[in-house]
Each structure stands twice: as structure tokens, then as C-alpha cells.
Structure 1
Amino acid sequence: MRFVIVTGMSGGGKSTAIHMLEDSGYYCVDNLPISLIEKFVELILVPESGITKVALGMDVRGGEAFREVPAVIDTLREKGVPVEVLFMETSDQVLVKRYKESRRLHPLANGGRIEEGIKREREILSGLKEKADYIIDTSKLLTRELRIELNRIFVENATYNNLIVTILSFGFKYGIPDDADLVFDVRFLPNPYYVEELSPQTGNDKPVQDYVKSFPECGQFIDKLEDMLTFLIPGYIKEGKYQLVIGIGCTGGQHRSVTIANELFARMYGKGNYGLKISHRDVDKARKSFVPPQA
């Protein structure tokens, strides 16, 4: 039996997660009254029910009774029920943006500011988040990436740590990413921009990749960076960090940073118990604003 409680911030992707679990064969119930949880568990644990995988969605719409959920989870675990808690997290900034774009009201805003509702919700959810077995931050996750993570945890039964690592290429001329935890400057490498046939291409194109990688210092840099991240990431996991953004920057975010970000992603993929994604923030921006270098 797998019994998963799906909860988290309103607007954080809880409903999407429940639908994905349902597609994976889970029997799903959303927003069951807190007072009925223990009775519901008794019914599904009966062998005749034929139910082996359950996902129960819960959020602050349950009112003040929602504060009782951590105690209910403790009670169920004491009775031997294998309760797993999936907490859907999202940054305040992204939540505000999602609510404004959808023109929905936050359930705890009471007609006031969205930020006030989010602040109150975080306070209510603090105890439940501490009991979470899995925390997935959807601030920068695409829907397909969320499906991969959920499949990894609840279908493949793979070992999972809450950390999601994003390798992000960018151009310094467009600013350092606000959410970058670690920033590495690769402008010390020769710039393909000044090679006529490579200028309009990007680090996603093989000729540019071959050019950048042809310099010994490129391989040395990636070797050292990979070694450092292999050392650092387990420490971040141990400390409970669930989002790590590694910024790789060059001048315009078109050639060198994209090449190195791609190579680093290829080396790190599948090597640790953490989610890994890659993003090229400025590659299209750089291509659109391309001006051939002057001879």
C-alpha cells in the first residue's frame, strides 16, 4: 500500500500533481474533510477494497481544522499506516504572478492582498511541511519536468532527495540571474562570436561546441567544476536545500556558456539522487539581437 498526502501552497501545483498520480494508477481524492481521514483510511485498508495506491489532496480550504492534519498524520503512522507526504512548494514571487495571471483569489486573502494570504498560508503549513517526505519546488518546473519527478518517486520507486539542480546559462550583459546560487564566469575562453561562420550559431550547435571544447582550458574547467559540484551537492541535500541554481555566464549567453552548461548537464545527468534540469536564459535573446562582428 502507498498512501500519499499531497499538500502545499495554493497555486503550487497540488491539483496538477494529483491528476498526474491519477494517470499513474493512484486512487485520488481531493480535499476530503479532515474529520473523515481516519475513517477513509480504515475503508481503503480493507483487502476487499482492491486499492493499493492512494493519493489524498489536502489544502487550507479545509479551514481551521487543517491545522490538525500533522496530528492526524502522526496518529496514522503510529497505527502502522505508511503515510507519505508530498509538499508542493513555490516561491512567493511566482505564486503572486500565477494568481494575477489566472485572476483567482487566494483562499486566505479575504479580499485583501495576495501577499497577505500567502504569508498566512505559510504559517499554517509550517508544521505540515516539516513532516514532508518529499518537497518539490515548482517555481521553475515545466509540467513535463514535474511529471518526470513524480514518476521517479511514486511509480519507479527510485531513491529521491528533495534537491532539484538547475544548470542555467546566461549572458552577463543581460544581468546575473537573481535566483542563481552559484555563478561561474566562462569569459576567459576564446569567444566564437569573433569567428565569422560561428557568430550566428549557438552553443547548441556542434561547430560552436567543437570550437569551445578545442581549448584545453575548457576541459580542465569543466573537470574542476564537476568535481566541486560532486563535493557540494550532498552537503546541500543534507542541509535540506531543495533548489540549487548553477549559473554559467559568458558575454551574451549564446556560445560559451551554453556549450559548457550542456556539457556539465551531460556529465551530471543520472549521477545523483537529485533532480537535474537545464535552461538557457539568453540564447534566443542573443540570437535575435545578433550583429555581425566588425572586421
Structure 2
Amino acid sequence: MKKPHFIILILLTFSISKAQSHEIVFTVKNFESEFLRYEPIKRYNVSDKDFEWAQFVISETKKSVNDKEGHYNVAHYWNITTAFDKLDETKENLKLVFIKMANSEGGCKYVTSFKDKIKFDDKIPELYNEYYVSCSNKPEAKELDIEHYIRDNKLNTSLVKLIKTINLNDVKYRDSDEQTYRTKQPNLDKVNQKLIDSLYNVHEQYIGKTLVGKEFEFVMWAVIQHSNPEMMEKYLPIVHQAVNHNELDKTPLKMLIDRYYGLKYGYQVFGSQSGFGFEMADDETRNKIIAKYDLD
């Protein structure tokens, strides 16, 4: 009676060993080229939600790198680091990409700004803290000097300061405990939605890179993303147009599409909205939506 179980165990062990044998061995020199061949492996202790999210991040990062002709920037390395964390990649791989991120232009800002919002610092505490202490004393890690930012980019002072306030209110209670989030964040979201409507009525365009610069180009999208299907439907064409005009990156558009179609129809297209219970769209539906929004 035990023989079948023994056979199953052998097959399972073989399957795991085979999967592990296909894992890429990253080095400092080959990381950038080998990452483009990297395919996530779902380990037994990784949840479906985390795996789906990491798959989306890995896929989008590869596309972004290809769009930039193989050039990686700090955001790419940061995205890979967070995805590796969710995938429970080896500590060696996590360290390798974290160091690349931290040593990239703008790396210190990520190290110091997001420490309270990530968990992988517990996996590499000595390394993270070493960079955190070092980066804390560097100019790039300091809070954005809004006056200099406005002047350097020749932007409208009132608009930029308002969009900064909208951004702060968008995230104010979003990472709080469930009770605080549910009682306080919705009211701020409603105020933000009215402000975004007003700004759009005045400027008649997406409030993106041209109007508020690179630091705040995502804010209008974030407010829409956290709104309701009616507001999402209204602004989807506007966000799509913004992407076509280089006012916003493609990834936020994909996330908005997934959230909108998920809430309205129960399915998503790109897999960015894990944890909501949305099914993946069938191939025919997916291809139609991708074609509609000129995405890949």
C-alpha cells in the first residue's frame, strides 16, 4: 500500500529538483542579461497572490528595460528587488540586486524613503542598515525641495503644491490598520476625486509630466485608481492619451485597466490586481482590450 506514495514522493522530488535546476545563477556581471531570461518559480511557501503580483512586476520590468534598449535604472532594480522578496528568492540574489539598486543614481532616495513600507530589510538587515545610514547623510536622500523643484522645472507653483497635497492625502491612511483605513481614507479619497475633476476641467488634459513634472506625474492616475468604476471609465481614455503623449508610463495604465475591468466585469487583463479575486480574461477578450489601448 505504501509503494504508490513512495513513487509519488520520488516524482515530486524529481519535479522540484528539475525546477531548481532551471533557476538562473546570477552574478554581478551577468545580472542584466540573465534577468531578461529569468522566469519566476513558484515556491511552496509563496502565496498565489504574491506570485501573481511578482510575475506582473517582472514582466513589466522586462518590457520597460527593452523599451529603454537594455538600460536599467534605479526603478527597475527596485522593482526586481521587491519581486524577488515576494518570490522568496535566495538571500544572495536579493542582496545582489539590492546593491545594484542602492548604487544606482537615485538609489539612496529609495533606500531611505521606503524603509517603513517594505519587509525585505528584515531578510538583509545588516546590508540594508549599512546603506540606510550611509544614504541618510547624502543630499539626494533629503525630502524634495518643492521650491527648487518648481523653479528648476519652470512649473506653476500653485498647481504643483496642490498636486503634492493630493498625493499626501492619497496615501495618508492607506497603509494604516483596517479600522483606521476604512474610517478615514474614503473621505480623503472623495475630496481628492473632486479636486482632480476640477483640475481636469480647468486644464482639459491629464495632469502629468508637462504640468507637474516627473515627481508628480502619477498622482492624477493614483486618485483615479483609488476611485470607483464610474470615475475610472471617465478617465481611462484620458490616461490612455497621456501614455501616448509620454505624460505617464504604460504600467499605471495597465493597472487601471485591470482595476476597472475587474470591478465592472470580474476579470483582469494583465494580472496586476492580485488579491481582488478577479479572474484572468480569456484570450479573445484580452487581445481586444490590448489592441484597444495599444499595449503589449
Query: What is the TM-score with the length of structure 2 in the denominator?
Result: 0.29
Structure number with bigger Rg: 1
Query: What is the TM-score with the length of structure 1 in the denominator?
Result: 0.29
Identify the structure with the greater helix proportion: 2
Identify the structure with the greater strand proportion: 1
